Structure 1
Amino acid sequence: MTSFRYYQLFLVSIFCVLTFITYSINRADIDKHSEEVLAQYTASIAAKSIWQGDGKDLYQDLDQQFSFQFFQYIDSNDSDNSYTKGQLLFKNNDITSNFFDVDIPYTQSLTNGRLQVKLSIGNTFLEIVEQFKLQLMLIWGTFLFISLFTLLLTSRQTKKIQYGAKLIEELPSFTFHSIQKSKLKGEFKPLAAAIESCQHNLKAEIDKLNESNEKLSRAAFQDPITGFGTRAKFTEKLNDICSPNSQQFGVLAMVKATELGAINQLHGREAGDDYLTRIANHIRKSLVKSPNAYCYRISTADFALILPDVTLKDGTSIIEQVKNAFDDYQQSLGTDSVAYIGLCPYLQDSDPVSLMTLADTAVSIAQTLGPNSVHVLQKLTGDELFGDSRWKVAIDDIVKRKAIKFYAQPIRPCRNDVESYRELLSRFYNDQGKFLPTATVIAMAERHGMSEELDKLVILKTLSMLNETPSMSGLFGINISASSANQENFVAWLKNVLGRQRHLAARLVFEVNESGMQTNLSATYHFINEAHSVGARVSIERFGLGFTSFKFFKDVRPDFIKLDGSYTQGINSDSHNQFFVKMIIDIARKLTIRVIATGVENQEEKLAMEHLLMDGLQGYYIAKPTPLLTVSNSEKPQLVL
């Protein structure tokens, strides 16, 4: 049918060209007659140039030789001699006539007046129009006949093709029929012979395939390094649990072994294979109490774990055991991390593509949370519509539209001599005004190398807001990525921008994740030093997760440190945690560094942190994030270093 459509398009083009040529010929005939009439009229009216009589007499005289669409004689001396007949605008109800617009105007000055006419070619025009109509009927009648004939031939060919296609479609199911050669004769004989030969050869190969199938399956569906299932087996299982008739539920986990490339480069591929084997062994040991779990290696450095019939809460506990095993392995491996884990639930009728997108996004977010982190995305919220390849476009759109709104969460000081600040939480929205998950946007920005663009947007938006709202007082914390803070170009840009607005720079506190800053202490020191040079402050968030946290006290000297929320959880009953937090506070106070507790969720945690002489508290029990404009301007922080 596609060929038929192309053929029809070709025919239409040809007949349109014929129509245009016919029209052009008839148009030329009309133009030729118009020129002849105008020439005759010009010669005739020249003899009347001394006319001094009545305009009606002049019309009757000229009307014997010419046809007029419009005639008007205006006498300069006696208006009674003026005469008008006809219409300037030609009206014709015949649609075809409108294609040949005849316009032959001529204006002549006479002795006592002015003559203005529009000539008509009369019956000649009607004859040409009728001739054009007949030609059109002949052209498009021929087109209709050819089209109908072609349609009949195409229909006949289509039936033969459909019969051959049906035979071919049944070959994979090994359903063989004797070919009705009467349906595949003429030019389709080679097709009939090919199908018959194919059926014969397939029958001969079936036995051979059945004999070797089991051996090939084992070789194809088991990864030789880890012993896990391959991606093909994972795809099969994923389609099974997501099928419409499936009653299954459970948890899908993605594990990304991020150190494989570095190990291969530094120690060779054997060391890389050993690294993957060790990860697989740790996963097996951690899942020993989950015999129904399925493990797959789905790419070079990615694993997938399916925990059937497990709730998200139980699945999270199981995966935490995997994370603990990775933490132990990291001690001996000597790397910054081992692997990151993303977790999401699946239910009946889950979409495989959306489920994989959700799991992949979860593991991407986990990579920004510290060594061997686990991140859980509990349900599909529309985020899965932005696949990995589309997030770059989405973030670029956010930057271009400056699509950001701020929420604020205050930090409550614990003493009167401590000034704290309000943390600005960025919320990004799409072109429909719907908010996108902030953690996902930031994670994908890092993946696509767009963190600097996003951080610049947040900083410029904050400066603009403070500049345009003088009534908004106090300090404000801005989250920026460690990758931006470690870039010299970004730091130079930041210093240049803040140097021109020092009165605003003095009200900013830049919050940077500790784990990202530890990767390059010299760059961290440079960033903090440059921020201090223009009057801004720096806060290290999620402090205490890394093994080299105390280097910040010695080398980089931030203004604030925000303890990771894990130190707050259960601190009222955990004496070891209390001792560690108290030690951090004592060291920080000697260096005039303020310590802020995060994740304060209840009164017991608040009282315990206050008892440890914490400088400030932040968490949902203290205050929830609210749209910035709803935060009272009277809620001023109360002291700075």
Structure 2
Amino acid sequence: MGLSKSFQLVLFIVFGLLTYRTYTIENNEVQDQGEVALANYLQYVQTIDQWHGSGEALYQRMSKAFSFQFFQYINNTDSNDNFTHGSLLRPADDFASKIFNVELGHVQNFTDGRLQVRLDTTSVLSPSFNDLEQTATLLISAYVALMLLFTVLMQVHRRRINYAAEYITHIPDLSFLAIEQSRFPGVLHPIGKALEICRSQLKLSLDRIHKENDQLTKTAYQDPVSGFSTRQRFAQHIESITKSKTQQYGVLVVVRAAELATINQLFGRTAGDDYLGKLATCIRKSVSNLGLSYCFRISSGDFVIFIDRITLNEGEQFLEQLKCYLDEYAQSTKSDSVAHAGMVPYQQGSEPVALMTLADTAVSVAQTLGPNHYYQMEKLSGNEQSGNDHWKVTIDDLINRRSIKFFQQPIQPCNSDTQIYRELLARFYNSEGKNLPTTTVIAMAERYDMSIELDKMIVTQTIKLLTENPTITGKVGINISAPSALQDNFTMWLKDILSKHRAIAARLVFEINESGMQTNLESSHQFVTQIHKVGAKIAIERFGLGFTSFKFFREVQPDFIKLDSSYSQNIEQNNNNKFFVRMIVDIAKRIGILVIATGVEKQEEKFILEKLLVDGLQGYYIAKPEVLLIKQ
């Protein structure tokens, strides 16, 4: 039962009890007055001890002193003296008699007759009935007034509660208007105060949550190395251009840090991150004086810049400025190249795949032009494949001219009984003597089925290097692509040329990527078998990334496995990597395979890997790559 109904019930009971109490008092008063009136009558009737007259005469005599409701005299002998007045039944309109039940009747026997009377109760009832009526009127009026006042107060109270309830229901809408304290006076004041405190605290909490959410969003969608937006933001942005209904145009620039893999290999991952950060600074400085621009890092070494509302011709200013900054950076670090850029125009409705393909082609052309070069390509010019064709010509040219340089990076054995080798790292340059990005050269060679010719050139130049430079001693490792190793004609060619240089063959270790070798275990086993016949060794590099079955060990039987550098990175903190390396070392030792850890850049990593009993260590902390000059 609610407060309102409870209060009404209590008020009704209280006023009912008061009315009942008033009635009880008045009823007792009526009974007392009735007894007095009856006593007076009895005293008076005793003065008439004997009566020998008519009943009417008796009535006339007694009515002077009393009022009778009923009077009846019955003579015992003479009925002519009988007299009756009034009625024993009370009048129907006598409401007072119904309220107060008082009996004022008496029977008196005389010598000649019998007298029965009932006194009129009006004089007895009227005062008490009037008092009861007045009191009841006051009580009912007070009750009605209180009920009306309570109803009004409840309406006001209900409006205040409704205001509080409505305010609370709007909190999920993040509506934080100030509380009207005037609506919560008296006992409701704590509610208003509590709501105001709740409002303030919720607002502070939501502001803090929004701030933290913005920070998390920024962290999630901002590349920590460059400070640019991530690939997810790039996808959203290019999709908005594709679906835009309003006119948009501008240029899209792809900047490729093609030297990232080389820098990571030569100088370590920290140097690679520093290189990307400074490249991002060059990009940021170049766009600072242009219109609205958006910068993204969409992969490890690729950046994308959207510059709104400029044409391809106007965009050349940005490319020139960018090249100046890149040249300055290259000069300060004494490096040959920093990055290459390709620019294409875009407009609303541009197809993302076609646009990025065109931009990638433009970058490919720029890479063949030399260090820090750029290239602009018109959309729908009909030359979308010219960049790739240009690469085909460039690779064919460097193979014919044997445009290759070698770096060397030693591998440190973990004990004196283990015979390890030094790795030769191939670097390529174009007809103008400018370096070409190694990763791109190899990727383009595989795309155009030129990897076999490129690998043949690498092998012949390595044999030439070792033949003409007797001071280079010990085993050396060279990289060849998996697509070449899996081709029977290349395997036969390699076996034939190594057979003619047995002494050199015994010093060679061919490094092949694990993921490529696993595509065809039968061909991989055939390659390893044929190379072993001429005395050369096989090393599987980047081991562990695509490894799905230890069947690879049993089927291929390489001489070395080079763990991917990700297993060395912070291995002192990564128990999963420790477990994996320990398991690989245990299995490899059982079947006579040497395990080499790569990407070792810290002393802590070196100590942990030595404790895990790897056979060799390679990385920036062990030794930096050095240039090897080929004797002409």
TM above 0.5: no
Normalised TM-score (structure 1): 0.44
Normalised TM-score (structure 2): 0.44
